[in-house]
Structure 1
Amino acid sequence: MTKTILGLDKKETANLVDELNGLLANFQIYYQNLRGLHWNIKGKNFFELHVKFEEFYTDSQIKIDEIAERILTLQGKPLHTFTDYIENASVPVGKDISNDVDGVELVVNSLSELLKIERSILESSDKADDEGTNSMMSDFIAEQEKTIWMLNSWLGK
């Protein structure tokens, strides 16, 4: 078994880099969706949601950087073109959404998709004994689960 400089199995690490690049692509689409929601939201919940979407995209920007830096730490190369993001993302793309409920539902659906990817990475990082990636995914998952609960409460679900 060949090891990386971090002492991790090279094959398992390469697979984790691929999975993390998929997460990176999905976060980039999610981030852009949030920017669009922030800019285009209308209606009686404008002030509340305008601020909330900014909070979410600011948080996403931090997570995007953390994911890319983790990929680099694992000696991989982060995806960095819009073509790469579109080709590797599965989160829904929101276009021209200005309705409050539609916007919040897009965020919930996107976070649900991100959770699936993160749980898969968590499983892979656990098998690879990669505590750094494991810890990052655990933190992301806990935070996003709470956000989904709160947004579903806002939606009355």
Structure 2
Amino acid sequence: MKTNILGLPVKESELIVSELNVLLSNFQVYYQNLRGIHWNIKGKRFFDLHVKFEELYTDSQIKIDLIAERVLTVGGTPLHTFEDYIKHNQLVVGRDISVDEKAVHLIVTSLSHLLKIERVILDKSAQINDEGTNALMSDFIAEQEKTIWMMQAWLEESL
């Protein structure tokens, strides 16, 4: 079996790169959704949510960079055009959302879908002992599960 410089099988690493690029694309759409709701939120909860949405999009920027760097580390090229992002996007695109509950629902739905993508990557990376990708996905999953719990608590909904 041919391996790359990291000692990972080349063919399987290429599949992980492909999945990471799907995640990267979806995170870019998630990031832009967060920017949109940050800019457009209105109402009595504006001050709290405006700050929270900024916190979330700042965190997303960091995660986007980490995903792109992981793609490079594993030997791939990160997607970087809006055309690529839209082509691989699986998230709902939030347009002109200014209502607090609708904004939070968009976040919960988006994070839930990102978790699905991350778990696919986690499964595939575990199969080839790609600990770097495993650790990244595990960290993302733990943080996003907590954010979903907090957002649902804000919405006063149960899991």
Give the TM-score taking structure 1 as reference length: 0.99
Matched residue of 1:39: which SS?
helix
After superposition, residues 5-154 of structure 1 pair within 5 angstroms as: 5-154=5-154
Q: Give identity over the alignment, percent.
A: 67
Instruction: Report the CA distance between 1:34 and its aligned residue.
Output: 0.2
5+ unaligned residues in a row in structure 2: which ranges? none
Which residue type is aligned with residue 5 of structure 1?
Answer: I
Measure, in 1, the Cα distance between the counterparts of 2:135 and 2:51: 29
Matched residue of 1:138: which SS?
helix
Which residue type is aligned with residue 117 of structure 1?
Answer: I
Measure, in 2, the Cα distance between the counterparts of 1:18 and 1:89: 13
Instruction: Report the CA distance between 1:103 and its aligned residue.
Output: 0.2
Counterpart of 1:156 in structure 2 is: 156
Which residue type is aligned with residue 14 of structure 2?
Answer: A
Measure, in 2, the Cα distance between the counterparts of 1:13 and 1:128: 8
Give the TM-score taking structure 2 as reference length: 0.98
Which residue type is aligned with residue 31 of structure 1?
Answer: Y
Which residue type is aligned with residue 131 of structure 1?
Answer: E
Matched residue of 2:22: which SS?
helix
RMSD: 0.3
1:91-135, Cα deviation, whole Å (9 max, x unpaired)? 110000000000000000000000000000000000011000000
Measure, in 2, the Cα distance between the counterparts of 1:128 and 1:54: 36
Measure, in 1, the Cα distance between the counterparts of 2:109 and 2:49: 17
Measure, in 2, the Cα distance between the counterparts of 1:63 and 1:92: 19
Instruction: Give the aligned length.
Output: 157
Measure, in 2, the Cα distance between the counterparts of 1:51 and 1:124: 36
Measure, in 1, the Cα distance between the counterparts of 2:155 and 2:128: 39
1:132-152, Cα deviation, whole Å (9 max, x unpaired)? 000000000000000000000
Measure, in 1, the Cα distance between the counterparts of 2:68 and 2:47: 32
